[in-house]
Amino acid sequence: MTSMEKRLQKELQALTKDPPAGVIVNTESVSQNMSEWIVDLYGAPGSLYDGEKFQLSFKFSPRYPFDSPQVMFIGPNIPVHPHVYSNGHICLSILTDDWSPALSVTSVCLSIVSMLSSCQEKKRPPDNAIYVKTCSKNPKKTRWFYHDDTV
């Protein structure tokens, strides 16, 4: 087993045994070599997304955890949020520049839940239309500018 598989195996175990509120990993979606996962995410109670269900796709390179995972929303319900594009791409610094190998699937999910929870008004990013038309399929290829620390 590679070091990436070993670590993801541990993460999967921890996440299925002791999942944080609103985060459920879809164990059937986990591919044989661990490199692709789907995680169900539930909007936190009391937030604008209360009762909504979302799906996150995780893709890991063989260099994980040194390389950040590729994380995006997929499926029929993409949260309407100032940092989430309608194609599922998420503008969140820990997914690229501020990634650290001490972060994990769990901590990424919790960051996203908290990002959703602190939202005051459901709206798309101002540049959604142009971004969605011109971006790469892989959100990690986007040169993100992180400017908004409020949500």
Partner 1 sequence: MGNCLKAQSADDISLLRGSETQDGNDQALGPPPPYQERVAPRAPIYYPSPNVSRPANLLTEDEQVKIAKRLGLIVHLPCGVYDGCSKKGKECAICMCDFVMGESLRFLPCMHTYHKDCIDDWLMRSFTCPSCMEPVDAALLTSYETS
Residues acting as catalytic residues:
91
Please report, for residues 13, 16, 120, 136, the alpha-carbon distance to residue 106 in angstroms, rounded to integers and kept in the order given. 11, 10, 24, 26
The H or E element that residue 41 is part of is strand 36-42
39-78 mask for partner 1 (x: CB under 8 A)? --------------------------xxxx----------
The H or E element that residue 57 is part of is strand 53-59
User: Taking CB under 8 A as the rule, does residue 140 contact partner 1?
Assistant: yes
Min dist. Cβ of residue 72 to partner 1 (A) = 16
Quick one: which of 77, 96, 106, 117 contacts partner 1 (CB under 8 A)? 96
Report which of 24, 131, 23, 138 is spatially closest to residue 86, judged by C-alpha positions.
Answer: 131
Q: Are 98 and 130 in contact (CB under 8 A)?
A: no
Quick one: which of 18, 102, 147, 149 contacts partner 1 (CB under 8 A)? 102
User: Taking CB under 8 A as the rule, does residue 11 contact partner 1?
Assistant: yes
User: Taking CB under 8 A as the rule, does residue 114 contact partner 1?
Assistant: no
Rounded to whole angstroms, the Cα distance separating 92 from 81 reads 12
Q: Which residues bind partner 1 (CB under 8 A)?
A: 3, 6-7, 10-11, 65-68, 96, 98-104, 140
